[in-house]
């Protein structure tokens, strides 16, 4: 009887999800040249699928952003003009449903039986091979023999879908080198895929196939203009990325830009000229990922300073208020996610060897999918412990246990016996240890004041809706303050 009830709940959740996808797909599929009609259709569809307080807050922001005269109105016009209807239906609608609708019966079952709720996103690196040798990249020299077997990739994605995770991010290396990639996209047509790529392998034939599939959005990596991109990725990298964007736009493929702010390029990637170029090229959204001291030769000096990081925060907020593009700042946007999303709270990473890592930037694991299931890895003490400690600070502008609270990750690795997943991975927590402690202290000095002045009200409410009671956050605040005092030998506390 219990099994039948569980199957019934699962079927009910599947039907609700499919209905939500149809509602959004229809709204996106019938976009017209009348901006007011577009606005009403899309916002009305989102209203129908938003259930939680957080989802309703997101819809309220989108409703205002898309109102006539605001940047979102022009964004809708760009979507109508540049994005193929098949992509609107199979990528945009499904991605929105993944954000707004999750099967509550699956949530409840996993919470009761395994102690966690299914993450929204899975990152996977089927190959580490790459045709570039970028400065600071942790992808070294790999061969075809290092690739993950396609049967294993298929199994892992299938296991992810079974727990409700259907937003899959493909990483590398250069993912388009992996010969089975398009077959995976086709087989798992009920998922949406983001592919982080240097763009060099994107030609008209590939772009046409991506539009036919409809459920794939490349994320083209650039680190500024030609000078900055070629300096980090090699001569000709910028021109190849721009060519890829031109081809993707001409075919109607949804794509984004991805950039790594460093202390060297921060002024360029936060400029209006840069974001205007991305809009002109056809990027519908974009990601900013701070340079992280990971890999075999981490360099703390490349990290954006606390002031650089705040410059990025202000720039992304300005872009949202003035530009018809959605920009995301992986660290400064943490108040929107209730802090760190790693450890399977919202996302996790499976590397090419099958190691299940809490974060793309934390190259440590305790489980491997060749010897355990995905559910076993997600419910393991390493991941469960990280989730239990989240948020790592009351101030979610400082979300990261690697660069904002490095002692936490060092202790977690030691406590739960996590192993480094490649040679040199430990350098982040050994060679860079002192530098990261000093960096985190300086970020705290700057960002605590910003939090109190600009974020505490609305972000505090957001945390409450995410299930973090005020007393737990206050305890986090006191604990972290004591930690800072110990590390920096302060006597004025």
At 478, list the tokens.
């006191």
Contact 167, 100 (CB under 8 A): no
281 in the same domain as 134: yes
Q: Is residue 185's pLDDT more than 90?
A: yes
Top mean pLDDT of 54-68, 73-87, 128-142, 300-314 is at 300-314
At 35, list the tokens.
């901006």
Q: Which of 278, 297, 332 is the last residue of a domain?
A: 332
The pLDDT of residue 487 = 47
The pLDDT of residue 116 = 84
Contact 358, 348 (CB under 8 A): yes
pLDDT band at 27 (very low <50, low <70, confident <90, very high): low
At 152, list the tokens.
């294993």
CA angle 334, 369, 147 (to 5 degrees): 90
217 in the same domain as 140: yes
142 in the same domain as 45: no
* Residues contacting 15, CB < 8 A, separation 6+: none
- Which segment of 54-58, 266-270, 285-289 scores lowest on mean pLDDT? 54-58
Q: Is residue 467's pLDDT more than 70?
A: no
pLDDT band at 307 (very low <50, low <70, confident <90, very high): very high
Helix (H, G, I), strand (E, B) or coil at 358: coil
Question: What's CA 460's distance to the chain center, in Å?
Answer: 22
CA-closest candidate to residue 54, choices 459, 473, 469 = 459
The pLDDT of residue 457 = 75
9 in the same domain as 147: no
- Taking the CA atoms of the chain, what radius of gyration do you get in angstroms? 22
Q: Which of 51, 67, 100 is the last residue of a domain?
A: 100
Question: How many domains is the chain built from?
Answer: 3
pLDDT in tens, 354-384: 999 999 999 999 999 999 999 999 999 999 9
Positive or negative, the CA dihedral 139, 140, 144, 146 is: negative
Higher pLDDT among residues 97 and 182, named by residue: 182
The pLDDT of residue 24 = 60
pLDDT in tens, 36-74: 666 667 777 777 767 777 777 778 888 888 888 889 889
Q: Residue 19: which domain range?
A: 2-100
Q: Where do we find the tokens 């149809």?
A: 22
CA–CA dist 297, 424 (Å, integer) = 7
Contact 94, 359 (CB under 8 A): no
Average pLDDT, the chain: 86
Q: Which of 305, 332, 359 is the last residue of a domain?
A: 332
> Checking DSSP bridges between strand 347-350 and strand 356-357, what pairing results, if any?
antiparallel
391 in the same domain as 289: no
Rounded to two decimals, what is the model's pTM?
0.89
The pLDDT of residue 31 = 54
9 in the same domain as 61: yes
Top mean pLDDT of 8-17, 42-51, 175-184 is at 175-184
Within a domain: residue 143? yes
């Amino acid at each position: 009887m219990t099994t039948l009830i569980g199957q019934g709940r699962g079927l009910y959740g599947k039907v609700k999800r499919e209905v939500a996808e149809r509602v959004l797909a229809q709204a996106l599929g019938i976009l017209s040249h009348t901006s007011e009609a577009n606005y009403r259709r899309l916002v009305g569809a989102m209203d129908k699928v938003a259930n939680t307080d957080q989802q309703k807050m997101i819809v309220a922001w989108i409703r205002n952003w898309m109102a006539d005269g605001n940047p979102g109105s022009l964004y809708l016009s760009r979507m109508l003009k540049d994005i193929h209807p098949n992509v609107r239906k199979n990528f945009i609608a499904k991605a929105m449903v993944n954000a707004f609708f999750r099967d509550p019966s699956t949530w409840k079952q996993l919470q009761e039986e395994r102690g966690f709720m299914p993450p929204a996103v899975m990152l996977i690196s089927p190959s580490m091979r790459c045709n570039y040798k970028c400065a600071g990249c942790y992808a070294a020299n790999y061969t075809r023999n290092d690739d993950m077997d396609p049967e294993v990739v298929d199994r892992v994605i299938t296991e992810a879908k079974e727990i409700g995770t259907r937003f899959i991010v493909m990483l590398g290396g250069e993912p388009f080198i992996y010969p089975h990639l398009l077959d995976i996209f086709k087989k798992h047509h009920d998922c949406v895929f983001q592919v982080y790529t240097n763009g060099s392998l994107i030609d008209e034939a590939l772009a046409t196939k991506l539009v036919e599939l409809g459920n794939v959005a490349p994320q083209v990596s650039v680190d500024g203009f030609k000078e900055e991109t070629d300096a980090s990725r090699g001569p000709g990298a910028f021109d190849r990325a721009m060519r890829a964007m031109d081809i993707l736009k001409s075919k109607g493929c949804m794509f984004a830009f991805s950039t790594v702010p460093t202390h060297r390029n921060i002024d360029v990637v936060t400029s209006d000229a840069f974001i205007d170029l991305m809009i002109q090229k056809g990027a519908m959204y974009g990601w900013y990922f701070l340079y992280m001291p990971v890999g075999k030769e981490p360099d703390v000096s490349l990290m954006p300073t606390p002031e650089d990081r705040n410059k990025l925060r202000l720039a992304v907020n300005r872009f949202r208020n003035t530009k018809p593009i959605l920009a995301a700042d992986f660290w400064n946007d943490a108040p929107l996610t209730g802090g760190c999303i790693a450890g399977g709270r919202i996302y996790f990473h499976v590397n090419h060897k099958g190691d299940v890592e809490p974060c793309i930037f934390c190259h440590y694991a305790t489980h491997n999918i060749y010897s355990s299931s995905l559910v076993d890895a997600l419910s393991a003490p390493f991941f469960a412990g990280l989730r239990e400690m989240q948020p790592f600070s009351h101030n979610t502008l400082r979300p990261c246990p690697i660069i904002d609270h490095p002692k936490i990750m060092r202790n977690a690795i030691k406590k739960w016996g996590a192993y480094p997943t490649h040679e040199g991975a430990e350098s982040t927590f050994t060679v860079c240890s002192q530098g990261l402690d000093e960096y985190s202290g300086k970020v705290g000095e700057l960002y605590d004041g910003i939090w109190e002045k600009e974020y505490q009200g609305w972000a505090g409410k957001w945390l409450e809706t995410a299930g973090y009671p005020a007393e737990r956050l206050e305890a986090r605040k006191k604990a972290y303050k004591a930690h800072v005092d110990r590390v920096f030998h302060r006597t004025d506390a």
